[in-house]
Amino acid sequence: MLFVVIAGVAVWVRARPEPLPVVDVKPVAVAMPTTTTTEPPPPPSTAPPPPRASRAAVPVAPRAPLPPAERPLTGPFWVAAAKGDIHVFRSPGGEHQETLPSVNEAMTTTVLLVKQRVDSEWIEAYMPTRPNEHTGFVRVAEVNLGTVDTQIKVELRYHRLTAWAGDQMVAQERVAIGKPSTPTPTGIYYLAMLFRTPNPGGAYGPFVFGLSAHSNVYEQFGGGDGMVGLHGTNQPSSIGRSASNGCIRLPNAAINRLAHSMPAGTPIVITG
């Protein structure tokens, strides 16, 4: 499902089943056959039944193995953590584009994935706002720069997520993705924030990563702006299918591992 504001998460509550009614079973009189003077019928034939025509076994074609996943980017990657509100410009020293608050919806520091370092004073970074994949220019003085060497790739055609730390693959999982009517957007994004959900057994599992990606179908969803999430699920049967409103669903054990190994700012590349 699409993730927007964690306080607005819809929680499925499974109702306790009603007890079955008690049936009062009473004995029923059974009529016995009357005595007759006719000869009894002959015993049933003991000859074996004619052989049943056998069906030819239908061969099942083996599923073709998926090609190995390859890292889409070469790290490590610069990330920028806000010192205060971040003022974003369309070019270095140019027209003001937007202002990002120092703290995001998860009440953690706003983090940006840096696309390039222009010079000692300016960086170009991916924005966590609409439209998808847009960038802006930020003064180095307004952020703390650091690096991450983790990355995630989601291959929609294979319903597969792969994560790396450096050049080592650390996770590969089947995922649920958006339905054809509400597809998961492709492109280069990053893990913008992480929420611990109030109900680990709920619709979003124990953790939700809010991505810098947004739905191309929903301008608003559940009270938020249609942010795409990477999260767990209480519908494990949906894994491996195109079943969500655009979010990427993982088994709960897998999202728990990623929450403890993939820091904010980690790039996530989503391919068709």
CATH number at residue 257: 2.40.440.10
Residue 134 annotated among the catalytic residues of the structure: no
Q: Is the pLDDT of residue 53 over 70?
A: no
Residue 231 annotated among the catalytic residues of the structure: yes
CA distance 11 to 122: 44
Q: Are residues 138 and 175 in the same domain?
A: no
Q: Are residues 160 and 125 in the same domain?
A: no
54 in any annotated domain: no
Q: Are residues 154 and 209 in the same domain?
A: yes
In this structure, the number of other CB atoms found within 10 A of the CB of residue 226 comes to 21
Q: Is the pLDDT of residue 91 over 60?
A: yes
DSSP assignment of 177-213: EE-TTSPPPPEEEEEEEEEE-S-TTSTT-SEEEEEEE
Mean of the pLDDT values across residues 175-185? 98
pLDDT of residue 32: 31
Torsion sign over Cα 187, 248, 109, 102: positive
Cβ neighbors of 227 (< 8 A, separation 6 or more) are 2, 3, 4, 210, 211, 213, 214, 215
13 in any annotated domain: no
246 in any annotated domain: yes
Mean of the pLDDT values across residues 169-191? 98
CA distance 125 to 65: 37
209 in any annotated domain: yes
Q: Is the pLDDT of residue 153 over 80?
A: yes
Q: Are residues 230 and 155 in the same domain?
A: yes
47 in any annotated domain: no
135 in any annotated domain: yes
136 in any annotated domain: yes
Q: Are residues 193 and 242 in the same domain?
A: yes
99 in any annotated domain: yes
Number of domains in the chain: 2
Q: Is the pLDDT of residue 13 over 50?
A: no
Q: Are residues 106 and 160 in the same domain?
A: no
Q: Is the pLDDT of residue 8 over 70?
A: no
pLDDT > 90 in the chain, percent: 73
Q: Determine the straight-line distance between the first and last CA of the chain, rounded to whole angstroms.
A: 19
Catalytic residue among 96, 134, 159, 231: 231
Cβ neighbors of 213 (< 8 A, separation 6 or more) are 132, 184, 185, 187, 189, 227, 228, 270
pLDDT tier at 259 (50, 70, 90 boundaries)?
Answer: very high
pLDDT > 70 in the chain, percent: 75
The residue from 123, 148, 173 where one domain ends is 148
Q: Is the pLDDT of residue 61 over 90?
A: no
pLDDT of residue 185: 98
Q: Is the pLDDT of residue 51 over 80?
A: no
Q: Is the pLDDT of residue 181 over 80?
A: yes
Catalytic residue among 87, 134, 214, 247: 247
- Entry pTM: 0.78
User: Which residue in this structure is represented by tokens 């590969």?
Assistant: 172
In which domain, by residue range, is 211 found? 150-271
Question: Could you read off the pLDDT of 214-235 as tens digits, one per residue?
Answer: 999 988 666 578 999 999 999 9
